[in-house]
Structure 1
Amino acid sequence: MAIKTELQDHYNVLDNWDINSVDPCSWRMVTCSSDGYVSALGLPSQRLSGKLSPGIGNLTRLQSVLLQNNAISGTIPSTIGRLGMLQTLDMSDNHLTGSIPTSLGDLKNLNYLKLNNNSLSGVLPESLATINGLALVDLSFNNLSGPVPKISARTFSIAGNSMICGVKSGDNCSSVSLDPLSYPPDDLKIQPQQAMSRSHRIAIICGATVGSVAFVAIVVGMLLWWRHRRNQQIFFDVNATDQYDPEVCLGHLKKYTFKELRASTNNFNSKNILGEGGYGIVYKGFLRDGSIVAVKRLKDYNAVGGEVQFQTEVEVISLAVHRNLLRLIGFCTTECERLLVYPYMPNGSVASQLRG
């Protein structure tokens, strides 16, 4: 309740967060694990203001905190470093100030960190370099300064911080400098009698221009083709037997292999069916780590519209927040399969929750 107390909820989004309730799992925007612990807070784009309470550090089973696109101000509480199971922290597009707490380095399971578009200042903590599983770090458009630690993230953005010194090399910021480019004077002189004709010069200029445009078009085309192929290879589990790559993810969503989900449902055994809706069948799955999930195997996969459309839908579903919706935790896609993974709800009808 300390979190609700320090946040200003102008639109009563948190009106059912009742201090007298013994079960916070029934609260809006709260997701719980199968053993009844709060595992996720999803409050993006809810027009919340105020401050984030240090009491968030008491929710030690949190795996995902989504507070992006609000008007939350103040500092990031250092107690957030107690959330040892946290995998996703998104507080982008708020009004946060102060420095990034060193305690973030204690989040050894963190793989998705977004603090961009705030007013954070100070030096980036060296402790961020000790987190080995980072897939994405976005600290762009703040007021950060000083050297940048060697953060081992697949995607790392620090743009829009004018006081950043550059990649740390052991030197002080005062010794970091950029030498201006210099060009030698043009000593070339053309004698009048040797100057080429105007028509000749125009022909050369036109030829060079056309050649340059063609070269740029070829390079851009090759780049777009390469990016399309790379995105397709990353997103698709084409062979349906590849080993899971822990670095491949869409935000806080986990990418499962088809082999992994097929094994978890005992080859989609009919005995594991929890329900069936207009868009697919829901199976009970037992993952290798012991967790129980609900696996929705979509029908008519060709109607989804290809990998780009499916990826977009997955991202939209993952951010959908409503008290009557289960939060998406993962997905799998192959050339002929589309599967969504949701938390298993032992005390309710999963079929009714997931029915299309």
Structure 2
Amino acid sequence: MAFKVLHLSIFILFLAKLSLSYEPRNHEVDALISIREALHDPHGVLNNWDEDSVDPCSWAMITCSAENLVIGLGAPSQSLSGILSGTIGNLTNLRQVLLQNNNISGQIPPELGTLSELQTLDLSNNRFSGVVPEFLGQLNSLQYLRLNNNSLSGPFPVSLAKIPHLAFLDLSYNNLSGPVPKFPARTFNVAGNPLICGSRGTEGCSGSAIAGPLPFYLNSSSGKHKSKKLAIALGLSLSLVSLFLLALGFLWLRQKQKGKVILNISDKQEEGLISLGNLRNFTFRELQIATDNFCSKNILGAGGFGNVYKGKLGDGTVMAVKRLKDMTGTAGESQFRTELEMISLAVHRNLLRLIGYCATSNERLLVYPYMSNGSVASRLR
């Protein structure tokens, strides 16, 4: 009898230990592991995604909220290929997906349409094919959508015009066709789609006229009347550019006489950058002087994208200068443009607005107001 009681006690202790050691699987971990398995990762940037982990917040390319929920997936310019798994729809708290400048192919998964919290989706410069899914029109929180430079085809997705808070849309350089509806987006781009209504070879296509409060870009047919207007506009533009270059040359000659350059770094502003709102375009020399040549004693913080320095302009204005690293080349310029556009469009009662930027042939910098008490992250909690 005593032996049976002992045997039963040991069995109960074993079951108790087993139940205590069991930890339920995190559904976000499962979803991310499925995403990783569907991708080819030549640089191993996703190697620390551990399927036995219960907390993905320490993983590379993942951003979490204060409640340890996955809200961001960002792996731009990492040479990823393969397909984007539909299990991304299980990351129900996602607010940001940044997978631009990779080689991901296949169709855009319909499960993305279930992410009700999604605010930013950038799949540009990949190899996605098929139609632009109508389900993207269900993303009522979406503010920034970039699908340009893929191989998407089919009719222009009318559902996108129904997204209430969409501020930026880029579908350029695909193979879309048909009419383009009116958009609430403040900036949108459909250039490089030869079958869009208004392009050459699409006469007789009927649809809504295109309108928007800010500039948008569309390949349009050019008749004689339009050619004349274009010639006049081009002539005026060339005259203005000539005057601007003369003024710039005069200012450069004056500046050249004021003293020597602190570092032998080109201060020529990068051409082709987007001008947004009232952002100030700083010169690199201005920011060098303001930060005491980016002295280490002025470093406010450091991260994966570069250091942040405290700086002071000649008029006494104190600011924070984010000096981005590894931002040269085509991929770097695209990343810089994306960040500049997104930050300029961001609206939050506690979020500091971007006040300026600097872009030279080998430097990318962002300028914010200096905040002496705490970080931006602490203000957003």
TM range (shorter): 0.5 to 0.7
Counterpart of 2:145 in structure 1 is 113
Identify which of 133, 136, 142 aligns with 1:104. Answer: 136
**TM-score for the superposition, normalised by structure 1:** 0.58
Counterpart of 2:252 in structure 1 is none
CA–CA distance in structure 2, aligned partners of residues 163 and 214 of structure 1 = 30
Counterpart of 2:353 in structure 1 is 332
CA–CA distance in structure 2, aligned partners of residues 12 and 342 of structure 1 = 30
> What is the deviation of 1:342?
4.5
> What is the deviation of 1:33?
0.5
Counterpart of 2:50 in structure 1 is 18
CA–CA distance in structure 1, aligned partners of residues 39 and 129 of structure 2 = 16
Identify which of 312, 315, 333 aligns with 1:301. Answer: 312
Following superposition of structure 1 onto structure 2, how do residues 22-41 of structure 1 map, counting pairs within 5 Å?
22-41=54-73
CA–CA distance in structure 2, aligned partners of residues 174 and 117 of structure 1 = 26
> What is the deviation of 1:344?
4.7
RMSD over aligned Cα, in angstroms?
4.5
SS at match of 2:125: coil
User: How has the CA–CA distance of structure 1 residues 47 and 219 changed in structure 2, closer, same or farther, with 3 Å as cutoff?
Assistant: same
User: How has the CA–CA distance of structure 1 residues 337 and 67 changed in structure 2, closer, same or farther, with 3 Å as cutoff?
Assistant: closer
CA–CA distance in structure 1, aligned partners of residues 89 and 235 of structure 2 = 57
Counterpart of 2:18 in structure 1 is none
> Relative CO higher for 1 or 2, CA cutoff 8 Å, sep ≥ 6?
1
Contact 2:57 2:63 in 1 (8 A): yes
> What is the deviation of 1:180?
7.6
Give, as a single letter, the amino acid of the residue that structure 2 aligns with 1:15.
N
Gaps in structure 2 of 5+ consecutive residues: 1-32, 209-219, 226-232, 248-273, 281-296, 337-342, 357-366
Counterpart of 1:90 in structure 2 is 122
> What is the deviation of 1:222?
8.3
CA–CA distance in structure 1, aligned partners of residues 222 and 300 of structure 2 = 61
User: How has the CA–CA distance of structure 1 residues 21 and 148 changed in structure 2, closer, same or farther, with 3 Å as cutoff?
Assistant: same
> What is the deviation of 1:80?
0.4
Matched, 1:280 2:324: no
> What is the deviation of 1:118?
0.5
> What is the deviation of 1:339?
4.0
CA–CA distance in structure 2, aligned partners of residues 182 and 278 of structure 1 = 59
User: How has the CA–CA distance of structure 1 residues 130 and 279 changed in structure 2, closer, same or farther, with 3 Å as cutoff?
Assistant: same
% same residue: 44
Following superposition of structure 1 onto structure 2, how do residues 198-347 of structure 1 map, counting pairs within 5 Å?
216-220=237-241, 231=275, 234-235=278-279, 278-280=298-300, 299-302=310-313, 313=324, 331-333=352-354, 338-339=369-370, 342-344=376-378
CA–CA distance in structure 1, aligned partners of residues 106 and 241 of structure 2 = 43
> What is the deviation of 1:18?
1.0
> What is the deviation of 1:300?
2.2
User: How has the CA–CA distance of structure 1 residues 222 and 20 changed in structure 2, closer, same or farther, with 3 Å as cutoff?
Assistant: farther
Q: Deviations over 1:28-82 (max 9, x none)?
A: 1101001111010110011110000111111111111110010000000111011
**TM-score for the superposition, normalised by structure 2:** 0.54
Gaps in structure 1 of 5+ consecutive residues: 184-211, 237-276, 283-295, 321-327, 346-356
User: How has the CA–CA distance of structure 1 residues 333 and 173 changed in structure 2, closer, same or farther, with 3 Å as cutoff?
Assistant: closer
Contact 1:33 1:343 in 2 (8 A): no
Q: Deviations over 1:325-356 (max 9, x none)?
A: xxx996435699624864359xxxxxxxxxxx
> What is the deviation of 1:279?
2.4
Identify which of 171, 180, 188 aligns with 1:156. Answer: 188
SS at match of 2:197: strand
User: How has the CA–CA distance of structure 1 residues 49 and 221 changed in structure 2, closer, same or farther, with 3 Å as cutoff?
Assistant: same
Contact 1:333 1:339 in 2 (8 A): no
Contact 1:301 1:338 in 2 (8 A): no
SS at match of 1:4: helix
